[in-house]
Amino acid sequence: MSGSDEVKVRAAVSRGVGMATSIEELVLSAPGVDEVRVAIDACAVCHSDLMFLDGGWSTDFPVVLGHEAAGRVLDLGEGVDNVSVGDRVVVSLIRACGTCRACRRGHDVACTGDLALRNRSPLSDLNGEPVTHGLGTAAFAEQVVVHRSQVAAFPDSVPFEAAALLGCGVLTGVGAVTNTARVGEGDSVVVIGCGGVGLSVVQGARLAGADPIIAVDPLVSKQEAALKFGATHASGPDDTAERLTGATGGRLADHVFVTTAAPGAFAGAASLLDRMGSLVLVGIPAEGLTVDIDPGVLAVANQKILGSKMGTARLAIDVPRLVDQYLAGLLDLDGMVTSRHSLDDIDTAFAEARSGEVIRTVVVFDNADPVAEEAL
């Protein structure tokens, strides 16, 4: 089913910082070479979406955001061979050409390939004016067009809402543990920030056999959630060092993960590191934030600072592994979905995410099966 025409879709359009979202009908182009059209069934709200909406990061407006999604393949452009029409797929912002230097080294998150979707948006309004393809995904819409590398198939036994979390939050958190920091059995871990990504780091550390796992968050509800997902201890920001050394017999941490964008979380994180320890920066703060680091202390203690964009993940490898862990009962995705909202109620979902009281709120789409309908 290739070579289809453009279609009209309902989407959540953001037209400026601080402005309410409008639900509009937009035109979505047909998939080009190496591109896939997907009907979205669920898309979680990530803090990255809020950073654009609230002005922490810059973007071109109008924009359709949403990048942590799952749905069904409707249409294939020429050259797509990793999925088929009708497949249930995770949709992610990770886009890889497969041939640039970074991709050849397995660093999909650092791809520099000159892909068509990096130079054009498949979205436009009814007057033909372009609408920004937020984070290269734009999944707060009934359908998306993305590069074939941005989708990974999953079995029918995984619900769409659970699978959507593999598009960003869980992929990023577990990937930071396994791919970036390479946490080992018995390593001591501190996780600063217990939102969706932080709790995924907690789960990844548990799967890696880390002990202790100290979860840090100012909200008691988030501390309690962290204990549920596998943290051995939880604390507020002010007593982290005491809780850590008490759990380790005096040692500091082998790995400290900063998973929040809150500026204060970065300032004292390095002080929690033991010799040979690694500070893993997972949360991305607003543009312009700087943090003072003493390079002498870092060098003498043989410590490392590691950036971890999207958990250094590769969809084709990491998504199947996470799906297997979920189906085996080792990875809890269902428990991370705190609330659900329709596309028309998306501003409520954004407000819940801003409040910090939810783990993940998911926008769900009441779609009929477009694949079945188009086959009639």
Helices (H), the chain: 47-53, 101-104, 160-164, 169-175, 196-208, 220-229, 240-248, 263-267, 295-300, 315-327, 346-355, 370-375
CB neighbours of residue 50 within 10 Å: 18
Dig out the tokens for 72 from the structure. Answer: 């069904």
Question: What is the rounded distance in angstroms from the CA atom of residue 199 to the CA atom of residue 227?
Answer: 9
Question: What is the rounded distance in angstroms from the CA atom of residue 219 to the CA atom of residue 235?
Answer: 9
pLDDT digits (tens, 9 = 90+) for 203-214: 999 999 999 999
59: Cα within 13 Å, side-chain hemisphere:
28
Instruction: Give 132's strand partners.
Output: 63
Helix axis angle, 220-229 to 196-208, nearest 10°: 30
Segment 149-177 shows an average pLDDT of 98
Residue 289 scores a pLDDT above 70: yes
- List Cβ neighbours of 52 (8 Å cut-off, separation of 6 or more): 14, 58, 59, 63, 65, 134
Q: 230 pLDDT band (50/70/90 cuts)?
A: very high
Percent of the chain topping pLDDT 70? 96
Q: 373 pLDDT band (50/70/90 cuts)?
A: very low
Coil, strand or helix at 251: coil
The bridge status of strand 68-76 relative to strand 35-44 is: antiparallel
CA-to-CA dists, residue 330 to 41, 190, 208, angstroms = 24, 21, 11
Dig out the tokens for 59 from the structure. Answer: 């973007």
Q: 5 pLDDT band (50/70/90 cuts)?
A: confident
Residue whose token pair is 């397995």 = 106
pLDDT at 264: 86
pLDDT digits (tens, 9 = 90+) for 61-99: 999 999 999 999 999 999 999 999 999 999 999 999 999
Residue 376 scores a pLDDT above 70: no
Q: Average pLDDT of the chain?
A: 94
Task: Kindly list the structural domains of the chain, giving each domain's residue range(s) and its CATH number in brackets, ordered by start.
Answer: 7-167+333-375 (3.90.180.10), 173-309 (3.40.50.720)
Q: Which of 318, 323, 315, 355 is nearest to 338 (CA)?
A: 355
In angstroms, the first-to-last Cα distance of the chain is 13
pLDDT digits (tens, 9 = 90+) for 310-335: 999 999 999 999 999 999 999 999 99
- List Cβ neighbours of 73 (8 Å cut-off, separation of 6 or more): 36, 37, 38, 83, 84, 85, 86, 87, 89, 151, 371
Segment 233-258 shows an average pLDDT of 95
The answer to whether the CB of 289 falls within 8 A of the CB of 260 is no
